A and B are shown apart, each in its own frame.
Chain A
């Protein structure tokens, strides 16, 4: 039987009803039995009842101990295991057991004491004396009667001649019998003889019998015969009390008749009839005495028998009460325990837990409420789970979108800075960091503080602008000067408005328009150059021709005049030629073609270009050192234009160092030009750096170096670096000049990797 089926079996009302009926029946039987004990002989009471109930009691006691021990052991184990509500259940069981066991034990003890004291009362001395006295009276009457009859029998035995009896002569004995009978009432006289040895029959033989005329009863010959035979056999007087079927009793006294030799040859039996009423009274008196005396002697087993019945009933009640108490405790605590375990399971996340309502009472309602709560929680958790999954999906999407935007923001050349409502920098992309020269550690810091730096101070008004109430946004160009370079930024600020219209922050967008500005300037200069070339070159030829005509015209003049004219015309022609060269450079700058870019190995290009200087450098002290990065990616470029860039930069450096034959630098160092390449994989750039340890360029002049017609050499058109910048810009790159350490100038060209 499984625990569940056993529990259902025990919870079945029919089973409980049957058990209760059986218990009541057994108890009723015990009560009936105790009531019937008065009708049971004392010896039967002690011999049967006691020894039948003793093992029953022992079994009941063992059952009680088993039930108690088992449940107490279970409670102990539950407490050791710290099961929920174990202590509460133990207390409840203890209380219920105390409520059942203590009263039962008290009733048992007090009942036993009452029984014991009652037994003493049953066999009290006065009762015994009364019964003994009554019996003695009745007995004395009977004994007196028997003594009277014994005397009569003796008398007849003496009066009747032995030989008459031996001869069986009835007539010889009847006279004496008549005489004796005449003085007696309700009496029977019988004379027996003992047959001679070997004769038939062997038993005594009735010789004569006479009875009082008034006696109207059936005589019981057999009893008298037996009494006579025993008298003859034992040769002693015998008495007997024979019941008569019609009621009453015959008291008999027998005396042996002895011959001269002392042998018993017969017997005289005198019987007196005692009527039924007297006999009944005497018999009842004797029976009462015997019953009382017998019970008094058997007081201990009788008392124990009653105690046994009482103990049996008490044990049955105790077992039933104990079992009922344990059952009720279980019925009360089990749902609570189940609820606790269920709550714990739900707390652990097992919302599918459901409890079985075993009762329809308040505890059952509680279990149903628990199940409803668990179902509601399960439904809500399913909804929450669905919401969580949706949210997770949305988060994933948002995260992907965020990563996408971050990637874009990181990749775009536009700097983006977001500020929170308090004006702190919340995000900043790499382009903004590069443009402004700030690091990611600026995150979370107030933008006012970050932009308080000298070179960024021009941005402070923007921060203040987006912080103004009602400001929606702005577009503005800002020029920053950082490390001697001008950076032209096209800035846009947008205020992030919340749901209530309040400002929740701002986004600053910074576009580096420096190349664009530069390109615009170059384009302007190209236009100027073209116009200059067009406007200046055209009159130069007539001027030159006119000068040559004047020199020819005055070729015949006085030598002094001829010398003056020749000197003037030579000057004119020379300057015109110079102007023509200058105009040609302008024309070349204005008409420079666009690059034809193909993937090119920059290191190889530099090697080839620098090899042109091999002959020049052999005779001087100046050295060109190559530091070319390995595994440099190919770059889409116009090799001729980039070669021109390298030559321009190297020529400028050599000129700054004093030419191939330049002496050591004031610091004692050898004049050195370093040409190096490097790969900026993060920004996908290839850098070409030409650095010298010459005197360097003042910081104020660095940005002007790339402007047309600016030269620090005092000669030339000043278009070299302008052309270099134009070439680099048209390649999508950039060039900047910085101060070399400890001295000198560094030109850095950045070209996008292919």
Chain B
């Protein structure tokens, strides 16, 4: 293999990594440690885009699927996932009378359905998720490093990613917050 080909392969890999890395820093994650438990709040305001608003106005159901994981970093092995929870926020415009029907599911269960009339409410509904609690199987170790990782998948998608089927390549956004667990 010539040096030129090696350089081309390296450039492609670097581009892919850069694309994935760029998509991985657009959700603001705030962790909350209280009474020995870990909670999180995350905001994906950057994903409230004109394209998304346009899709919403067509009457399509717009869904924000969040997967939040509490992880412990490891050196050689993949990071350990201590707890995982999923939140799905959806919104749909009633194209006949206006107004939006918004809903929220947590771990597959519908926890709330509401009707809102303002687009700002829909934006907050879809992009701001709070009161997330993690329930790890075992207690967290004091003074240990942990982090909260959030992935976001938005549907429907208007773009096509050739890396969508790769692990981690199909997420529309992600965010991470590292912390040291102190009781």
Contact between A293 and B97, CB atoms less than 8 A apart: no
Contact of B159 among A42, A294, A301 (CB under 8 A): A301
Q: CB distance A293 to B155 under 8 Å?
A: no
Assembly CA distance A304 to B96 (angstroms):
31
| Selected interface stretch from B15-23, B51-59, B123-131 | B51-59
Instruction: List the B side residues contacting A135 at CB < 8 Å.
Output: 95-96
Given the known interface contacts A51-B170, A238-B115, the answer about A46 and B94 at a Cβ–Cβ threshold of 8 Å is no
Taken residue by residue from 76 to 97, chain B's Cβ proximity to chain A (1 for < 8 Å, 0 otherwise) reads as: 0000000000000000001111
Least CB separation from B169: chain A residue: A51
A430 → B minimal CB distance (Å):
84
Q: Which residue of B lies closest to A285 (CB)?
A: B96
| Contact of B59 (CB < 8 Å), options: A238, A251, A293 | A293
Known: A241-B96, A289-B95. A54 touches B157 (CB 8 A): no
Quick check: A298 and B97 within 8 Å, CB to CB? no
User: Smallest Cβ distance from B1 to chain A, in angstroms?
Assistant: 15
Residue A43 at the chain B interface, CB threshold 8 Å: yes
Expressed in whole angstroms, the minimum distance between the Cβ of B172 and any Cβ of chain A is 11
With A238-B115, A240-B115, A297-B58 already in contact, the answer to whether A43 and B156 are too (CB < 8 A) is yes
CB closest chain-A residue, reference B114: A230
Count chain A CB atoms within 10 A of each CB in B51, B59, B156, B170 and give the residue with the most: B156
For the complex of A and B, 6 pairs with smallest distance between CB atoms: A43-B156, A290-B59, A293-B58, A294-B60, A43-B155, A55-B165
B-side contacts of A41, CB under 8 Å? 156
Q: Across the interface, do A42 and B156 meet the contact criterion of CB distance under 8 Å?
A: yes
Which B64-79 residues sit within 8 Å CB-CB of chain A?
A: none
Residues of B within 8 A of A52 (CB): 165
Taking A286-B96, A301-B159 as known contacts, 8 extra A-B pairs with beta carbons closer than 8 A to each other, sorted by chain A number, are A46-B156, A46-B157, A54-B164, A143-B97, A289-B59, A289-B95, A294-B156, A297-B54
B58 and A251 contacting across the interface, CB-CB below 8 Å: no
| A54 and B162 within 8 A (CB) | yes
A301 to B170, CA, bound (A): 14
- Closest residue to A42 on the B side, CB-wise? B156
Pairwise interchain contact B157-A282, C-beta atoms closer than 8 A: no
Question: In the complex where A43-B60, A54-B164, A238-B115 touch, is A298 in contact with B98 (Cβ < 8 A)?
Answer: no
Distance in angstroms from B95 CB to nearest chain A CB is 5
A139: CB under 8 A from chain B?
A: yes
Q: Which residue of B lies closest to A239 (CB)?
A: B97
A387 at the binding interface (Cβ < 8 Å): no
B166 nearest CB neighbor, chain A only: A55
What 1/0 mask marks residues of chain B from 21 to 50 whose CB sits below 8 Å from any chain A CB? 000000000000000000000000000000
**With A286-B96, A294-B55 in contact, do A51 and B164 touch (Cβ < 8 Å)?**
yes
- Judge whether A138 and B165 touch: CB under 8 Å: no
B97 and A47 form a contact (CB under 8 A): no
**Nearest neighbor of B117 in chain A, beta-carbon distance:** A238
Contact of B55 among A51, A289, A297 (CB under 8 A): A297
Known: A239-B99, A241-B94, A300-B160. A47 touches B155 (CB 8 A): yes
Q: Is B158 in the interface zone, CB < 8 Å from A?
A: yes
Expressed in whole angstroms, the Cα–Cα distance for A157 and B95 within the complex equals: 28
Set of chain B residues within 8 Å of A146, measured between Cβ atoms: 97
Chain A residues contacting B165 (CB-CB under 8 Å) are 51-52, 54-55
**A251 with B170: CB separation less than 8 A:** no
In the complex, what distance in Å separates the CA atom of A50 from the CA atom of B170? 12
Main SS of the interface on chain B?
loop
Q: Do B159 and A300 touch (CB < 8 A)?
A: yes
Distance of A286 Cα from B63 Cα, bound (Å):
20
Query: Do B160 and A290 touch (CB < 8 A)?
Result: no
Residues of chain A within 8 A (CB-CB) of B162 are: 54
CB pairs A–B below 8 angstroms (27 shown): A43-B60, A43-B156, A43-B157, A46-B160, A50-B160, A51-B164, A52-B165, A54-B162, A142-B96, A230-B114, A236-B117, A238-B117, A239-B97, A239-B98, A239-B117, A241-B94, A241-B96, A286-B96, A289-B59, A289-B95, A293-B57, A294-B60, A297-B51, A297-B58, A297-B156, A300-B159, A301-B157
Q: A409 CA to B101 CA in the complex, in Å?
A: 133
Give the CA-CA distance A300 to B160 in the complex, in Å: 8
Please, which residues of chain A bring their CB within 8 A of the CB of B156?
Answer: 41-43, 46-47, 294, 297-298, 301
Could you tell me which residues of chain B, from 97 to 156, have a CB within 8 Å of some CB in chain A?
Answer: 97-99, 114-115, 117, 155-156
Minimum Cβ distance to chain A for residue B108 (Å): 18
Known contacts being A286-B59, A290-B60, A294-B58, is A139 close to B157, with CB within 8 Å? no
Nearest B residue to A230 via CB reads: B115
Taking the closest CB of chain B, its distance from the CB of A256, in whole angstroms, is: 14
Specify the chain B residue showing the minimal Cβ separation from A52: B165
Give Cα distance in the complex from A243 to B55, angstroms.
25
Closest to A290 in B: B59
Whether B97 pairs with A142 at a CB distance below 8 angstroms is yes
Closest to B115 in A: A240
Q: Given the complex of chains A and B, what is the CA–CA distance between A296 and B160 in angstroms?
A: 15
Given the complex of chains A and B, what is the CA–CA distance between A286 and B61 in angstroms? 14
Task: Give chain A nearest CB distance to B155 CB in angstroms.
Answer: 5
Distance of A138 Cα from B115 Cα, bound (Å): 21
In contact, B158 and A301 (Cβ under 8 angstroms): yes
Q: Which residues of B contact A240 (CB under 8 A)?
A: 97, 99, 115
- Which of A142, A298, A300 counts the most chain B CB atoms within 10 A? A298
CA–CA, A294 and B61, complex, Å = 9
* Residues in B whose Cβ lies below 8 Å from that of A241: 94, 96-97
A21-71: which residues lie under 8 A (CB-CB) from chain B?
41-43, 46-47, 50-52, 54-55
How far is B95's CA from A282's CA once the two chains are assembled, in angstroms? 10
Contact B158 A294 (CB under 8 A): no
Chain B proximity of A497: nearest CB distance (Å)? 87
State how many angstroms separate the Cβ of A136 from the closest Cβ of chain B: 9
B158 to chain A, nearest CB (A): 6
Chain A residues with CB under 8 A of B98: 139, 143, 239
Query: Complex formed: what's the CA distance from A43 to B55 in Å?
Result: 11
> A263-292 vs B: 1/0 string, CB under 8 Å?
000000000000000000011001001100
B58 touches A139 (CB 8 A): no
Minimum CB–CB distance for B160 against chain A, Å = 5
For the complex, give the distance between the alpha carbons of A294 and B58 in Å.
6
Which residues of B sit under 8 angstroms from A286, Cβ to Cβ? 59, 95-96
Query: B114: which A residues are within 8 A, CB to CB?
Result: 230
Q: Which of A54, A230, A290, A297 contacts B158 (CB 8 A)?
A: A297
Given contacts A135-B95, A282-B96, contact A301 B160 (CB under 8 A): yes
Specify which chain A residues have a CB less than 8 angstroms from the CB of B63 in the assembled complex. 43
Report B182 CB to chain A, min CB distance, Å.
39
Which A residues between 122 and 154 are near B, CB-CB below 8 angstroms? 135, 138-139, 142-143, 146
Assuming the contacts A47-B155, A238-B117, asked whether A290 and B95 have C-beta atoms less than 8 A apart, the reply is: yes
A227 to chain B: closest residue by CB:
B115
Q: Is the CB of A300 within 8 A of B99?
A: no
Bound-state CA distance A43–B58 (Å) is 13
Residues of A216-239 at the interface with B, using a CB-CB cut-off of 8 Å, are: 230, 236, 238-239
Docked complex Cα distance between A55 and B167 (Å): 12
Asked if A304 contacts B160 (CB within 8 A), the reply is yes
Question: What's the least CB distance linking B82 to chain A, in Å?
Answer: 28
For the complex, what is the distance from the CA of A290 to the CA of B55, rounded to whole Å? 10
- B157 neighbours in A (Cβ, 8 Å): 43, 46-47, 298, 301
* Assembly CA distance A42 to B117 (angstroms): 25
- Expressed in whole angstroms, the Cα–Cα distance for A54 and B117 within the complex equals 39
| A251 contacts across to B, CB distance below 8 A | 97
In the bound assembly, the distance between CA atoms of A292 and B98 in angstroms comes to: 18
The chain B residue sitting closest to A237, CB to CB, is B117
Residues of A within 8 A of B55 (CB): 294, 297
* Residue from B51, B60, B97, B156 having most chain A Cβ neighbours under 10 A: B97
**Residues in B neighbouring A230, C-beta threshold 8 A:** 114-115
Contact with B along A343-379 (1 / 0, CB 8 A): 0000000000000000000000000000000000000
A54 contacts which chain B residues (CB < 8 A)?
162, 164-165
Residues of A within 8 A of B60 (CB): 42-43, 290, 293-294, 297
Distance A343 CA – B99 CA, assembled complex (angstroms): 87
CA distance A294 to B54 in the complex (A): 9
